[in-house]
Chains A and B, each alone.
Chain A
Amino acid sequence: MTTFMASLRTTLAGYINYRGREGHYSFLLHRLTGLGTLLFLTIHIVDTATVYWMPELYDHAIALYRLPIFMIGEMGLVFSVIFHGVNGLRIIYQDMVKPSSWSIHTQRRAARVTLVVSILIWLPAAYIMARSLLAHL
């Protein structure tokens, strides 16, 4: 347990103190959006499965998702799914298509472009979802 705590501290300190600028932030954002999406996905598989296993519970699950706080969370989820996908494409391109073109300069620019593209894709979706949120307040 003490070795685990030590390794936890070292790893977390590395996550926070590493000074890799754009690369560091896109690494952290990729992990956070991935873990956040997985957390929701796990809950979502189980709550949707109640349609078959315990149909009387499904309306309660949906009622929760209709709360304003969950609808705001849903907008964050949509951003996570978009960013994780666009950034994933950047990683795949760099790892599998053009590994020889790697340089700090192009990677920093690619990380910034990735974030801008993700936000641009997210904005129209966020607009439609925000409109729905306001209509159901």
Chain B
Amino acid sequence: MTTATTSARANVKPTPTYETIAWKWMRYSGVLLIPLVWIHVLIQDVLVGVHAIDLNYVVERWANIGWQIYDILLLAFTFAHGMNGLRQVAFDFFQTDKARRNLSWILFIGWLVISFIGAAAILGAAAKHLA
């Protein structure tokens, strides 16, 4: 490897670590997020609009298992993609292993807590209001 050239370097496959898996995850989840997020934004922000959205609208949507599944996927993939993206941006500013480890834990716990708050709402709201 001491005489690595550009063409030799292009053929080296790195051993998978957490960071290479996270790097690939951003690309795979990114492809999935394009239909998932764009359809959501097209319907809610562009076609329906914030003036037609109220509590009833959300509850009725979540009474439909199809939209519940859709919104669970949306929550899981967008927020994980976003929080890992924030972690990668923050790594530019926090350069010691200790700081990066602490930061990763804080973001992981924040991700877990907010994901739980959102998922409970998607799964529980219709049952609560329509009971």
Contact = CB atoms under 8 A, between A and B. Distances in A.
B27 A41 contact: no
Interface residues of A, number: 47
A45 B50 CA distance: 15
Interface residues of B, number: 46
Contacts, number: 114
B118 A49 contact: yes
Contacts of A66: 50-51
Contacts of B42: 125
Contacts of A89: 30-31, 34
Interface of A is mostly: helix
Task: Give the most central of B58, B62, B128: most A CB within 10 Å.
Answer: B58
Interface string B20-36: 00000001001101100
Interface stretch (A18-26, A94-102, A104-112): A94-102
Contacts of A129: 45-46, 49
Contact of A49 (B34, B78, B99, B120): B120
A2 interface: no
Given A58-B58, A100-B10, 18 more contacts: A8-B93, A34-B89, A42-B79, A45-B114, A45-B115, A46-B117, A49-B118, A53-B117, A59-B54, A81-B41, A82-B38, A88-B30, A92-B31, A125-B45, A129-B45, A129-B46, A129-B49, A132-B51
